[in-house]
Amino acid sequence: MQIAENAVVAIHYTLTNDAGETLDSSRERNEPLAYLHGHGNIIPGLENALTGKQAGDALKVTVQPAEGYGERHDEMIQDVPRDAFQGVDDIQPGMQFQANTETGPRLFTITEVNGDTVTVDGNHPLAGATLHFDVEIAEVREASAEELSHGHVHGPGGHDH
C-alpha cells in the first residue's frame, strides 16, 4: 500500500541539523512514530516527501523552515518582569512554560535572566532551522473509522483512549 491521505504510517527516523547533530530519533525509543497521513500530524515538508512511498522504502529528506517549524520571528522574543513567574523561585534559561496568548496557548522558552527581567522566546525551538530526516517506512495501513474521526492514530505507536 502506498502512502496517501488517510493512511496510517509508521516510520523510523533520525532528525539532524545542518551540523549533523542528532536532534531526535525514533530509533532510540525502539518504536516507530505512527501518524495519520494528510491530517497535519507531522510537519508538511516531511509528510509531502512521504506521499507515494511504501513500507520498506528508505529516504533522506531535507525540509526548509517554511515547510518545517517556520521562520524565526523577532517579535516572538520579549522581555517580561520576573514577577510574572509567581511561584517559580529558580528561573533558568532553557526552562519552558505555556502561556495563553491572543492566538491561543503558546510554548515559551526562557533564554535569559537578567535581574528582574526575563527574556522569553515564543518561537518553536526548531524555527528557522533546515531539518534533515533519515527515514525508513516500517508500515503503511488503512486507518480505522475511529482513527479518521479522531484525526490521529490509535494503538501501538499511536494514541490510546
Instruction: State the pLDDT at residue 160.
Output: 54
Residue whose grid cell is 502506498:
2
- The verdict on domain 74-121 having CATH code 3.30.479.30 is no
Residue whose grid cell is 503558546:
106
**pLDDT tens column, 97-133:** 998 888 888 899 999 999 999 999 999 999 999 999 9
- The whole model's pTM is what? 0.84
Start and end residues for every CATH 3.10.50.40 domain found in the chain? 7-69+127-150
For the residues 11-29, what does the mean pLDDT come to?
Answer: 95
Alpha carbon of 135 to those of 27, 39, 51, 138: distances in Å?
Answer: 10, 19, 13, 9
Containing 149, the helix (H) or strand (E) segment is: helix 145-150
Start and end residues for every CATH 2.40.10.330 domain found in the chain? 74-121
**pLDDT tens column, 32-79:** 999 999 999 999 999 999 999 999 999 999 999 999 999 999 999 999
Q: Which CATH number fits domain 7-69+127-150: 3.90.550.10, 3.40.640.10, 3.90.1200.10, 3.10.50.40?
A: 3.10.50.40
Report whether 72 contacts 155 (CB < 8 A). Answer: no
How far is 103 from 71, CA to CA, in rounded Å?
Answer: 18
How far is 128 from 72, CA to CA, in rounded Å?
Answer: 5
